[in-house]
A and B are shown apart, each in its own frame.
Chain A
Amino acid sequence: MNITVIIPIHKINENEKDYFAKAISSIDKQKLLPKEILLVIPKDENLRKTIESYEYGGNIKDLVNIVENNGETDFCSQINFGVSKVKTELFSVLEMDDEYSIIWFDNVIRYIGHYKDVDAFLPIVLDTNTEGNFLHFTNEAVWAKDFSDTLGMLDNDSLLNFPNFQLSGGVYNKETFESVGGLKPSIKLQFNYEFFLRMTYYDKKIMTIPKLGYRKTNMRPNSLFYDYYHNETKKMLPDEARFWFNTAKKECYFKQDRGIKYEENEIS
């Protein structure tokens, strides 16, 4: 299958090993396997050893490649770096604490066959808390009546009214992703939103496959969004959150990352 899975990994502590195992296993269980699994890690010998020592399932053992990113290692930079190493036409992003459903890639191939002009396929994401309890779905809204111009498709107008879409789990055309400039590391909190706004602004087609394709663990301690809410040193206050939301709407017209910074008391 002409897809590469990118797993950005910042660090794996003991508590996170189970998550990682489940994430990897969810690729192993796919009916159709990807061509390559890229584990994108920062330069960190210990992390490399941990990753290398992991016993990958028989189906995917030969598909795993570890790539080190010597530059910025925030989530967006890791993804962009991973994409630059992708050798297939398509790629998908799997966060190390999430899982694909076993039907996901099977459906992606089926839908690609019928919707050849679509640049990105999003799964319906089943969001859970850390106890595994169901919280809500994400990406499903495009199938609600009158949400967008075309049922199942995400467009710019509907995004301006409803920003809650999830990038991870989706399958993207590498060329399209790079043609719109990839993810912008300078955009905090709303980098997903800004990316989708930019994709749709540049007329790229995004569709949600109406199947449960991805299971996301919300607010895992030490995860990016957990830190935004709970980590005293990284906590994001409402003013800043609002700033990034508005910035996403303004920056989506630009393909390059313009290095936007938030300064307290700034009026957005």
Chain B
Amino acid sequence: MEKEEVRKQIEENISRFDKKEFSFYFFTMDTKGNPTAAVSTIYQHVKILNELGYNATILHEKNDYTSVGGWLGDEYAKLPHKSIEAQQLQVSPSDFVIIPELFSNVLEQTVNLPCCKIILCQSYDYILEMLAPGKSWSDYGVTTCITTTDKQKEYIDSLFSNRVSTKIIPVGIPDIFKPSEKPKKPIIGIFTRDQRDTVKIFKTFYLKYPHLKWISFRDLRGLPRETFAKSLSELAMLIWIDDISGFGTMPIEAMKSNVPVLGKIPNMVPEWMEDKNGLWTHDINTIPDLTANYIQAWLEDSEPKEVFNEMEKLKDTYSEEKQSQKIKDVYEELITERKNLFTSKLPQETLVNNNELNEEK
């Protein structure tokens, strides 16, 4: 009778897949209202999965989770949310819990959950941050990862010696990132992972090029998404320094807004980065000089046209449509794999039952 119950449970789980009665839970950090690209990607996954008719929920740790409505918009704030603290979470074997790479520590807490756990890795540099020395994701029962680029996949495959199956869902840049209708302004946008670099760059620029002191630098941190998109589109150029970038969302957003990017080449060269689709350097100390050269050219309408032509080619590469399609494909693949796993257990169970029955005889 117990074995029959197990069989029944497996069949119930398979049936849940067919009826879309299972859930995706996306563990998400509380941004405290600060715009965070990685979190917006998580919300995008949740939004698309809900649109596809799945139950996808943002899972947060505390009850006093700060809504993302202020910077990401109401459309995202209204997506289903659940709090761990409120003990709202009940997972079944047919459910999926998706955990950002930074929260490897959560893996230990969730090791006994009967569901499928998946790592969502957007920044390769954080993978080892919370993992205990010598420990792998697979030690916590995680054998599947979703990342955003081929290069990150290569890194993950190499790091975990192919014990983790990695799938790719690229970042999608929404159409709110578009060229400004008005002519651009003599303003330089700047984003640096380390804020001291921002200060160092503009101070050097003003010191070496005092006749350009009237050119403003605009720090692009902390702006609500739509304000950020509008602000970005007005710029003459964007300076981007992010050594540990996994994908490089901001430069793509800038290029889609027809704003050329001057950047330091990150440790992991982004897949979209090519010689001529931006102004790239290995040396952060050259950035003030390159900025002055570009601004001088901008003032004379003699910017390198080739950069703009190359940027144009990237415009539609990372569209939300492509991302949505990939989200659909990848999660459906995961569901099928999970369902197949349950299905594969059925005959085994039957076989085991028969053997056991024979032994009893």
**Residues of A participating in the B interface, judged by any CB pair closer than 8 Å:** 101, 103, 106-107, 110-111, 114, 124, 134, 136-137, 140-141, 143-145, 147, 151-152, 210-212
B75 CB–A CB distance under 8 Å:
no
- Note all chain B residues with C-beta closer than 8 A to A210: 185-186, 299
| B214 with A101: CB separation less than 8 A | no
| A136 with B215: CB separation less than 8 A | no
- Note all chain B residues with C-beta closer than 8 A to A106: 301
The distance in angstroms between the C-alpha atoms of A245 and B211, with both chains bound, is 25
B216 CB–A CB distance under 8 Å:
yes
Q: Which residue from B182, B183, B216, B301 sits with its C-beta under 8 Å from A144?
A: B216
Q: Given contacts A141-B214, A143-B215, A143-B216, are A101 and B300 in contact (CB under 8 A)? A: yes
- Note all chain A residues with C-beta closer than 8 A to B215: 143
Q: 6 interchain pairs (CB within 8 A)?
A: A101-B300, A137-B211, A141-B214, A143-B186, A143-B215, A211-B299
B221 CB–A CB distance under 8 Å:
no
Chain A nearest CB, measured from B284 CB (Å) = 24
| B213 with A212: CB separation less than 8 A | no
- Note all chain A residues with C-beta closer than 8 A to B185: 143, 151-152, 210
| B216 with A103: CB separation less than 8 A | no
Chain A nearest CB, measured from B291 CB (Å) = 15
Q: Given contacts A136-B211, A145-B216, are A114 and B183 in contact (CB under 8 A)? A: yes
Chain B nearest CB, measured from A250 CB (Å) = 29
A111 (CB) vs chain B CBs: closest residue? B183
Chain B nearest CB, measured from A115 CB (Å) = 8
The distance in angstroms between the C-alpha atoms of A145 and B217, with both chains bound, is 9
The distance in angstroms between the C-alpha atoms of A27 and B159, with both chains bound, is 64
Chain B nearest CB, measured from A18 CB (Å) = 23
| A144 with B299: CB separation less than 8 A | no
- Note all chain A residues with C-beta closer than 8 A to B299: 124, 210-212
The distance in angstroms between the C-alpha atoms of A137 and B301, with both chains bound, is 17
Between A107, A110, A145, the greatest number of chain B beta carbons within 10 A of the residue's beta carbon is seen for A145
Q: Which residue from A136, A140, A151, A212 sits with its C-beta under 8 Å from B300?
A: A212
B194 CB–A CB distance under 8 Å:
no
- Note all chain B residues with C-beta closer than 8 A to A134: 211
**What number of residue pairs across chains A and B have CB atoms under 8 A from each other?**
38
**Residues of B participating in the A interface, judged by any CB pair closer than 8 Å:** 181-183, 185-186, 211, 213-216, 299-301
The distance in angstroms between the C-alpha atoms of A134 and B211, with both chains bound, is 10
Q: Given contacts A124-B299, A212-B299, A212-B300, are A143 and B214 in contact (CB under 8 A)? A: yes
The distance in angstroms between the C-alpha atoms of A145 and B299, with both chains bound, is 18
The distance in angstroms between the C-alpha atoms of A209 and B182, with both chains bound, is 12
Chain A nearest CB, measured from B162 CB (Å) = 53
A107 (CB) vs chain B CBs: closest residue? B301
Q: Which residue from A141, A151, A152, A211 sits with its C-beta under 8 Å from B301?
A: A211
The distance in angstroms between the C-alpha atoms of A147 and B215, with both chains bound, is 12
The distance in angstroms between the C-alpha atoms of A135 and B341, with both chains bound, is 76
The distance in angstroms between the C-alpha atoms of A197 and B182, with both chains bound, is 27
A106 (CB) vs chain B CBs: closest residue? B301
| B301 with A103: CB separation less than 8 A | yes
The distance in angstroms between the C-alpha atoms of A151 and B183, with both chains bound, is 13
Chain A nearest CB, measured from B259 CB (Å) = 15
- Note all chain A residues with C-beta closer than 8 A to B300: 101, 103, 211-212
- Note all chain A residues with C-beta closer than 8 A to B182: 114
Chain B nearest CB, measured from A92 CB (Å) = 18
- Note all chain B residues with C-beta closer than 8 A to A103: 300-301
Chain B nearest CB, measured from A125 CB (Å) = 12
A124 (CB) vs chain B CBs: closest residue? B299
- Note all chain A residues with C-beta closer than 8 A to B183: 107, 110-111, 114
- Note all chain A residues with C-beta closer than 8 A to B216: 143-145
Q: Which residue from A111, A144, A211 sits with its C-beta under 8 Å from B214?
A: A144
**What 4 pairs across the A-B complex have the smallest Cβ distances?**
A144-B214, A210-B186, A103-B301, A145-B216
The distance in angstroms between the C-alpha atoms of A106 and B301, with both chains bound, is 10
- Note all chain A residues with C-beta closer than 8 A to B214: 137, 140-141, 143-144, 147
Chain A nearest CB, measured from B187 CB (Å) = 8
The distance in angstroms between the C-alpha atoms of A143 and B213, with both chains bound, is 10
Between B211, B214, B216, the greatest number of chain A beta carbons within 10 A of the residue's beta carbon is seen for B214
Chain A nearest CB, measured from B179 CB (Å) = 13
A210 (CB) vs chain B CBs: closest residue? B186
- Note all chain B residues with C-beta closer than 8 A to A111: 183
A111-B183, A137-B214, A211-B299 given; name 11 further pairs at CB < 8 Å: A101-B300, A103-B300, A107-B183, A114-B181, A137-B211, A141-B214, A143-B215, A144-B213, A211-B300, A211-B301, A212-B299
Chain B nearest CB, measured from A171 CB (Å) = 15
